[in-house]
Structure 1
Amino acid sequence: MIIGIDLGTTNSAAAYWADGAPVLIPNRLGELLTPSAVGLDDDGGLLVGRPARERMASHAGLTATAFKRYMGTQHRVTLGRKDYGAEELSAMVLRSLKEDAEAHLGQAVTEAVITVPAYFNDKQRKATRRAGELAGLKVERLINEPTAAALAYGIHQLAGETRFLVFDLGGGTFDVSVLEIFEGVIEVRASTGDNRLGGEDFNQALANLMAAADKRLAAGLQGDRQLSAKLMEAAERARRALTSASSTTMTLSWQGEQFAHDVTAEGFESAAQPLLDRMRNPVLRALRDADIAPDSLSEIILIGGATRMPIVRRTVAKMFGRFPNASINPDEAVALGAAVQAGLKARDAALKEVVVTDVCPYSLGVNIAERLPGGAIEEGIFSPIIERNTTVPVSRVNIYETMSANQKQIVLGIYQGEARRVADNVRIGELKVPMPRGPEGQPIEVRFSYDINGLLEVDVHVIPTGERHNLVIADPEDQVSPAEMERRRAALALLKQHPRDSEANRAALARAERLWEDALGDERDWIGRLIQQFQGALATQDVRVADTARDELMAALDQIDGPRWL
């Protein structure tokens, strides 16, 4: 049995596909949402979900929440006498969801589709996969949260064509994705976001307001984990109250004293304004990367529990000049979409016509050096090979050259990120390539091939000698069989052809060059421009762009010598 799981910062949920629809799975308390909280009871026993969450304010040293923010890092959380990593704590939540699903379904659950923020990097995604495996699950696929929400929203609209933006503000992360539905295909056009922006940050803004209003409280917060937990709990209660009220009172008790602070919706919005401002750039970047105008979007879809805040909904409405769509339960959409993906994996007959594409959320590339105008060399520059928001699976190639005579080797550091300097990006591998003796400018061809599960294959062709080198970057703890790895590499191998080398494109270019030779004057100039445009499309290495450009070229050439008869 395969299920879909929304592993959230604040709450998690599980669902399955049955009788043509996704169905949420209640936990052992009969609730559809399980708090992403892990703790120890007074006897050292493990608590997961609501029992742990309820003890956060009273037993802060024995409880952990919001650990999803530390996925893929070395950050450790102390519970009692033991330290835990984020993936270990996440595994405990996933195991609890697995057990609840088995109890509800009456059968073993062995596989899962798990959601991740669209802007999670490679390390964070692999940590999530490991958490699933630690929980006893085979992780069939990681799916981006906005993509999952699109499945939940768009599954009944696949007959039409529509574009929409998914605005996902959860407890700890913020994602924006632009998607298009057409002819049974859900295509992600662009995804971006902020992994350090969510409901927890709005809680902190309220906590800061209360602390700033009382010097005793502010002094007591220094190093007191218990008081911090109580203050954050008071802030969350206030944030929820301000969803439907114009004012509320934050209260807490500490060391026999009662503290209270009145807060208004206007005061909250003012304190949270820097957080609201941070939402703008990811939205603009996603629209720019997707090359879609805001007024061409059919809907702006809100998901994530933090989008219930009126200040967030007003901010979104101001951005787009219209009200967003809040018809989907923001807490449940992602889990329901994960269940749809689970149904696709299980090849459910009701879903056989649905195709889902996704994108690479970060650019992938290598470190290079550049020669400055004065002759000095600047090292550590990032050269992207696969740009962010490229549809996956994908294969791209770049040419690089040695910078000195008789250079013995090229050391290719492999990075993921958007910063110009590699030091500010995530290093994911390295390949050392021996070079032959010779003048500077010896070329190598570097090809990156990347699949939907995060497998990156690096191929290097040393052009002067014909030597080839290969590096496969995958999670060393990802329990993939040799046969499965070979299957995934074989699928990538089919992509390793530059569009300029395909027979159809070579034939189109040959036809254009033949007609250029036959033409004179303005007609020859026009054909020359057509050839340049087509070569520019081929240089993008995007098969869809090349195919569209070829069709346009052939239609133009038909005007000169008539339709092809073969």
Structure 2
Amino acid sequence: MIIGIDLGTTNSLVSYFTEGGPVIIPNRLGDNLTPSVVSINEENGEIYVGKIAKERKITHPNLTADIFKRSMGTEKKFHLGEEEFSAEELSSFVLRSLKEDAEEYLGQTINEAVISVPAYFNDAQRKATQRAGKLAGLKVERMINEPTAASIAYGLHNENLNTRFLVFDLGGGTFDISILELYKNIMEVRAVAGDNFLGGEDFTEILVNMFFNSKKIKCNSFDTKLIEHVRKQAELCKQEFSNSKNVIMKCKINGELIEQEFFIEEYEKNCQLLLAKIRKPIERVLKDAAIKVREIDEIILVGGATKSSIVRNFVGKLFGRLPNTNINPDEAVALGAAIHGAMKERNEAIKEIVLTDVCSYTLGTNVSLRREDDSYESGHFYPIIERNTVIPVSKTERLYTTYDNQPSINIEILQGESRFAKNNLFLGELNIDVPKGPAGREAVDVTYTYDINSILEVEVTVVSTKLKKRIVIQKNEGAMSEEEIEERLKELSYLKIHPRDKEENKLLLAKGERLYEESFGEARRTIDMYLRDFEETLDKQNKHDIEVSAEELKKFFDIVENDGLD
């Protein structure tokens, strides 16, 4: 069986396909959403993923990482204590946890997954996602763009009429905008745009800054516990704004409870720069698709951040209509990934549908351009496959020598939109010999072929001699080789994801630690007493007593969080 995975910045989900349609698989705690947070216990090498790790983000910030999806495809390292991890390694822990949840739920071994990625992910980010899957023990032959997955999940492919729709996908850390067209059983992506550094986390950060500024609190960047505590409260207030026009943010700082009331109007005013950033990709995708707003039949909201009233109102005003909200925006992408997995397996329960996608970024090469004085200036980007070209696609361009007796031509393979080669992503290069002669006599035909699996083949042919060279781009510069992946798997083998059967109890202890650190005075002593009682019950290993004690502790924690003990 092929499972579907939505590997999100803030939360991740896993799903599978049944005869009745796609189904979300609950994690070991019974939740559909697994926070994309990873924490390490330095004492025993245990890895915590999800809710426990999220609690530890406040109590053990230096041993915990989140929002690492934004660093996929980069060389950034995350330091968890003395350990060092890349974004793809941290993502692999999340994927491994989801894989284990699926195996437990389905009662079978899972070896393959379709993983969704932002439509605006570049080649390096997509390959990093595939490597994360491999590190987690998953074969990832197919990835699906998040807006495409969501559109499938909405069931729009079952419509009989010709439909044109826009998918507005604002997740925790990334933003995608896509225009798709449906005609009978063909779903075609017309254009995509986005911002890989814009999402719900940025709207949370606005509230964090509003709180610090309102109280004139100067926060040291090294005070990670304080920052994480305030961020958690800001996230709660952001969610509350979806149903209320005013919220009261409560933070315990240096033993003092500090409260600040915020109104939706001032929050929206502070979010204007973020909303302006959202508008730009929308304008771009409409321009690339050569479509006007009035020609869009349906607006679909995807991603947890679209539950915000500010975002929904912004979308409504921008497009002059109410968006479609018939499905949980948190789950749409994962459900679509499961359907795509079933399509790959040619599941008979799936109505035959043809999916066409587009190349999110322009693919080209580095060329020299002639100046007015007949000299050449190097470093210019020459597009070969333009962005938003329907894939699979193959295109050829002819390039010439630029100086006398030039012995070879070097083709740098680049991805991006800048007119300067150095500002675009380097994917690889290919050098081919040409006969020496006057400038401009010799030429090469450069053919780029790009498929739905993000594999780029570049073939260069010398026009005069018919000499050919080709290269297949399947990994980016600086990425791990197959041997390096195997070696890293061995290195990480001592790290074990926390056992499933202890998950709920560990979560209670982690939550208790967090509440203890956030409290003070008598409340802190009471929390400590409850935690010690629970730990003693755990040590006795009586299942019934543990269940009773755990239920009492949950109720107590609810009182602490909602009403306080003062």
TMscore range, shorter length: 0.7 to 0.9
The whole-number CA distance in structure 1 between the counterparts of 2:321 and 2:356 is 28
The whole-number CA distance in structure 2 between the counterparts of 1:288 and 1:355 is 25
Deviations 1:130-159 (A, max 9, x none): 001111111131110000001101355243
Residue 90 of structure 1 aligns with which residue?
Answer: 91
Equivalence map 1:161-176=2 (5 Å): 161-176=162-177
Residue 104 of structure 2 aligns with which residue?
Answer: 103
Higher relative contact order (CA 8 A, sep 6+): 2
Residue 38 of structure 1 aligns with which residue?
Answer: 38
User: Which letter maps to 2:193?
Assistant: T
Q: Is the 8 A contact 1:39 1:52 kept in 2?
A: yes
Percent of residue pairs bearing the same amino acid type: 50
Q: Is the 8 A contact 1:165 1:178 kept in 2?
A: yes
**Structure 1 portions without partners, runs of 5+:** 481-566
SS in 2 for 1:54: helix
User: Which letter maps to 1:267?
Assistant: E
Provide the alpha-carbon RMSD of the alignment.
1.6
Residue 464 of structure 1 aligns with which residue?
Answer: 464
Equivalence map 1:532-547=2 (5 Å): none
- Aligned: 1:183 with 2:175: no
Q: Is the 8 A contact 1:395 1:449 kept in 2?
A: yes
Greater than 3 Å deviation, 4+ residue runs: 41-44, 476-480
The whole-number CA distance in structure 2 between the counterparts of 1:154 and 1:479 is 38
The whole-number CA distance in structure 2 between the counterparts of 1:30 and 1:334 is 19
**How far 1:374 sits from its partner (Å)?**
3.5
Q: Is the 8 A contact 2:42 2:81 kept in 1?
A: no
Change (3 A) 1:354 1:479: farther
Deviations 1:6-37 (A, max 9, x none): 00000000111101410110111111111111
389-398 vs 166-175, which moves further? 389-398
372-381 vs 49-58, which moves further? 372-381
Residue 560 of structure 1 aligns with which residue?
Answer: none
- Aligned: 1:361 with 2:360: yes
Change (3 A) 1:334 1:405: same
The whole-number CA distance in structure 2 between the counterparts of 1:156 and 1:401 is 46
The whole-number CA distance in structure 2 between the counterparts of 1:59 and 1:51 is 11
Residue 445 of structure 2 aligns with which residue?
Answer: 445
The whole-number CA distance in structure 2 between the counterparts of 1:159 and 1:359 is 23
SS in 2 for 1:356: strand
**How far 1:249 sits from its partner (Å)?**
1.7
**How far 1:456 sits from its partner (Å)?**
1.0
Residue 489 of structure 1 aligns with which residue?
Answer: none
Change (3 A) 1:264 1:432: same
Q: Is the 8 A contact 1:130 1:478 kept in 2?
A: no
Equivalence map 1:338-349=2 (5 Å): 338-349=337-348
157-166 vs 113-122, which moves further? 157-166
Equivalence map 1:516-555=2 (5 Å): none
The whole-number CA distance in structure 1 between the counterparts of 2:73 and 2:318 is 33
Residue 24 of structure 1 aligns with which residue?
Answer: 24
Deviations 1:322-349 (A, max 9, x none): 1211222100000000010011011111
Equivalence map 1:61-80=2 (5 Å): 61-80=62-81
**How far 1:375 sits from its partner (Å)?**
3.5
**How far 1:244 sits from its partner (Å)?**
0.9
Change (3 A) 1:388 1:364: same
- Aligned: 1:337 with 2:348: no
Deviations 1:469-488 (A, max 9, x none): 211111276869xxxxxxxx
Deviations 1:160-186 (A, max 9, x none): 321100000000000001111112111
Q: How many residues align?
A: 478
The whole-number CA distance in structure 1 between the counterparts of 2:375 and 2:242 is 58
User: Which letter maps to 1:314?
Assistant: N
Residue 536 of structure 1 aligns with which residue?
Answer: none
Equivalence map 1:389-468=2 (5 Å): 389-441=388-440, 442-468=442-468
Change (3 A) 1:459 1:213: same
User: Which letter maps to 2:164?
Assistant: R
Residue 281 of structure 2 aligns with which residue?
Answer: 282
Q: Is the 8 A contact 2:157 2:187 kept in 1?
A: no
Equivalence map 1:207-222=2 (5 Å): 207-215=208-216, 217-218=217-218, 220-222=219-221
Deviations 1:481-529 (A, max 9, x none): xxxxxxxxxxxxxxxxxxxxxxxxxxxxxxxxxxxxxxxxxxxxxxxxx
Residue 12 of structure 2 aligns with which residue?
Answer: 12
**Structure 2 portions without partners, runs of 5+:** 484-566
SS in 2 for 1:201: helix
The whole-number CA distance in structure 2 between the counterparts of 1:426 and 1:227 is 37
**How far 1:214 sits from its partner (Å)?**
2.6
User: Which letter maps to 1:131?
Assistant: A
Change (3 A) 1:478 1:42: closer
Residue 202 of structure 1 aligns with which residue?
Answer: 203
- Aligned: 1:2 with 2:6: no
User: Which letter maps to 2:65?
Assistant: A
Q: Is the 8 A contact 1:129 1:478 kept in 2?
A: no
The whole-number CA distance in structure 2 between the counterparts of 1:478 and 1:148 is 29
SS in 2 for 1:353: coil
Equivalence map 1:191-340=2 (5 Å): 191-215=192-216, 217-218=217-218, 220-340=219-339
Deviations 1:203-256 (A, max 9, x none): 1111111112233x32x3332222221121121111111111111122222332
SS in 1 for 2:349: helix
**How far 1:196 sits from its partner (Å)?**
0.3
SS in 2 for 1:350: coil
The whole-number CA distance in structure 2 between the counterparts of 1:435 and 1:297 is 51
SS in 2 for 1:438: coil
445-454 vs 37-46, which moves further? 37-46
